[in-house]
Amino acid sequence: MKYVKPLSLLGNALKTKVSVPGRFLGLDVGDKYVGLAISDPSNMVASPLSVLLRKKSNIDLMATDFQNLVKAFSVSGLVVGYPFGKLNNVEDVVTVNLFIEELRKTEKLKDVKYTYWDERLSSKTVELMLKPLNLHPVQEKTMLDKLAAVVILQEYLDYANRYVNTEPAE
């Protein structure tokens, strides 16, 4: 896995000599779960995809799941939610960094590029939307993780699509 700056991720995807650029996979990384969202083929709209159970013992299995998703959806990059500016919550920063490092160590995603995107308020935004639905706590948690990944990916897509054609890539 190789880190690239946010605008470079979409810019590089658009520069590839294929008729349709690859899609993006959004990740909301938590202690127990990783929420997933996928962009449409035009990289304009994010949709919820799935939630993966996260355990230290299953990182190899998760890497295989990501390999399969990259193939199945022609994914050209990952947009990973990152807790920028959360000075009080170092645990969230460590959680995301450890997860990415563990995925990299499996070497199953060598050619996959990723970038970080600000995840602040993504879960809170979704919580406020889900609260009136009075869902079962397990169902609410699953929806929260998937939809937080959607918010992260959609915010990235909106920003990148607005600036990738008007500014040089970072």
Report phi then psi at 124, rounded to 5.
Answer: -65, -40
pLDDT in tens, the chain (170 residues): 888 888 788 777 666 655 556 899 999 998 889 999 999 999 999 999 999 988 778 899 999 999 999 999 999 999 999 988 755 578 888 889 999 999 999 999 998 999 999 887 777 777 777 777 877 877 777 777 888 899 999 999 999 888 876 555 44
Q: Are strands 23-29 and 113-118 parallel, antiparallel or unpaired?
A: unpaired
Sheet of 33-39: strands edge to edge?
2-3, 113-118, 75-82, 23-29, 33-39, 46-53
CA end-to-end span of the chain: 18
Provide the pLDDT for residue 169: 47
Provide the pLDDT for residue 14: 65
Give the global pTM. 0.85
Other C-beta atoms closer than 10 Å to the C-beta of 120 total 15
CATH level 2 (architecture), domain 1-163: 2-Layer Sandwich (3.30)
- Which 3 state secondary structure label does DSSP give 87? coil
46 in Cβ contact with 55 (< 8 Å): no
